[in-house]
Structure 1
């Protein structure tokens, strides 16, 4: 019987145009991608329980307590099973500096649990063109999702395994997900059992975990593409980069943008020019 894997994905980066971090409008993120993690189907339920318990240990004395009090003051019923801690809040620069040891330990526990159960981390993205006229949000999303299906299909074909994709139900992506059916049926992606399914993250601990991981993927990819704009994001590379690199498969953020020459390359080019100029002057004198 073929083995089955479940893929949990969320978005990282930003789907809109990007010009620079200092631009008045298009300044959010230089990349967009989809990422999360993969688990064998028999490891999904235990992992959901593990992540739920981890959230309780991390947040029951403050965040959850606050959420309960807020619900009570608003005359609402608090449901612990659907309470979320967003990755953008959990993995902020301020949090990482203030709670470094807690974040490193809890993130390591998550990644270790995934890999120890036969799973792996996974993400695909790309740097965006800096000219808004060249930026097509629909095509960027479609490109990432199509590439994800292709890479996972190739990965599981070698194992004679099949897979399903669960994605966070983000606004505006429904039509794009439907188009992935074409990729599934027309391009021979036979390991994918059904078209990707969009679900409410409040109901899925696994999707919430994908959101946490995407918060890290987003900051690392930002720093890799434009380090001078967010030098503080180097902290995420330093504390999580190696761990993610060792736990991922077939993952990257594609960057085909022209790259600025490094200081070392500029110095080497200057030396080459100066040497050539000196030789020319010597010839003229002779």
Structure 2
């Protein structure tokens, strides 16, 4: 049996731009995480816990409840993480490689949001969440079918009201779709909600979701500052690590949707560089900063000799 651990990509609200005073959070919504064989799940969770204990030893020791301490993925994938805390990215990459060595894969599905305020886009957040979850389940079921294994899906805990509203919809979707799509029968139960502070694997799914969120932002938002997520060699481990069913569905764009690991392309299909232009995304960010600094120094006017 396969176990899928997933968490949210972004949030369901409207998006206008990074600089909008209110609607600036995320240009897409969906789910991401990883899939692993059931017999390896506890082993991987123990590895994650050991790495977390080593990486954040000081913070955990100072916590009121050390056993329940967690580091959110959004705090791992900050703008300056690669420069200020490169060890966090090294640990994340090592964990990705461990998932792959155990026969597992990373996963994501997300829908790009139409640009605009809730009124401009006729936003229905419940419908957005439902559509993303349904397509996530469809694609995880297809992955399970291709591996000839049953599947259980775990997701981070939400409040009881949301859970009671979502569960019947998910159950109805799985059963209703199974008549025409037998792969849905591979999902033996609707997604189970697990408190992240009690599950190392849900915590790692949150890290994966944060990494994917930044990569999607880089591909969709022209002035995204997260070039390093796609361009850095430090994250080479994620390239090729995703299921073939992973997808970013674009909103009325002239280019194709992103599949598999394509959200980690250095080049951006939505914003192609002019021919002959130096692609910053093709250069390691640290090297690019050094090139820019050298260029600036070269243009500093010299004082004339007396």
Q: TM-score range by the shorter chain?
A: 0.7 to 0.9
The residue that corresponds to 2:231 in the other structure is: 238
Q: Give the count of matched residue pairs.
A: 248
Deviates more, 1:185-194 or 1:18-27: 18-27
Shift of 1:261: 7.1
**Residues 192-232 of structure 1, C-alpha deviations (whole Å, 9 max, x = no match):** 0001011111110000011111111111101111131x2x2
Q: CA deviation at 1:160?
A: 2.1
Q: Aligned residue for 1:225?
A: 220
1:62-97, Cα deviation, whole Å (9 max, x unpaired): 211332xxx3xxxxxx2x322111111122122222
Separation of aligned partners in 2, 1:157 and 1:262 = 37
1:108 to 2:122 alignment: no
Going from structure 1 to structure 2, the CA distance change for 1:96 and 1:241 (only over 3 Å counts) comes to closer
What SS does the aligned partner of 2:88 have?
A: helix
Partners of 2:8 and 2:170 in 1: CA distance? 16
- Gap change, CA 1:95 and 1:63, over 3 Å in 2: farther
Correspondence for 1:197 among 192, 200, 224: 192
The answer as to 2:62 corresponding to 1:66 is: yes
TM-score with structure 1 length normalisation? 0.81
**Residue 173 of structure 1: CA displacement?**
4.0
Structure 1, unmatched stretches of 5+, are 72-77, 266-286
Q: From 151, 165, 169, give the equivalent of 2:153.
A: 165
CA distance, structure 1, for counterparts of residue 35 and residue 24 of structure 2: 31
1:84 alignment partner in structure 2: 70
Match among 10, 15, 22 for residue 13 of structure 1: 10
Shift of 1:257: 3.7
Q: Deviations over 1:240-283 (max 9, x none)?
A: 66432310011122112446775649xxxxxxxxxxxxxxxxxx
- The question of 1:186 aligning with 2:176 is answered yes
In the other structure, the counterpart of 1:272 is none
The answer (yes or no) to whether the contact 1:32–1:128 under 8 Å persists in 2 is: yes
The answer to whether the Cα contact below 8 Å between 1:138 and 1:176 also exists between their aligned partners in 2 is no
Which of 23, 26, 41 aligns to 2:23? It is 26
Distance 1:262 1:183, change over 3 A: same
Q: What residue number does 2:301 align with? A: none
Query: What does residue 136 of structure 1 align with?
Result: 124
Correspondent of 2:82 among 96, 100, 120: 96
CA RMSD between the two structures: 1.9
Unpaired stretches in structure 2, ≥5 consecutive residues: 179-183, 255-269, 276-306
Larger radius of gyration: 1
Distance of aligned partners of 1:263 and 1:83 in 2 relative to their CA distance in 1, 3 Å threshold: closer
Change (3 A) 1:49 1:241: closer
Instruction: Specify the SS of the correspondent of 1:187.
Output: helix
Residue 296 of structure 2 is matched in structure 1 by: none
Work out the CA distance in 2 between the residues paired with 1:220 and 1:173. 28
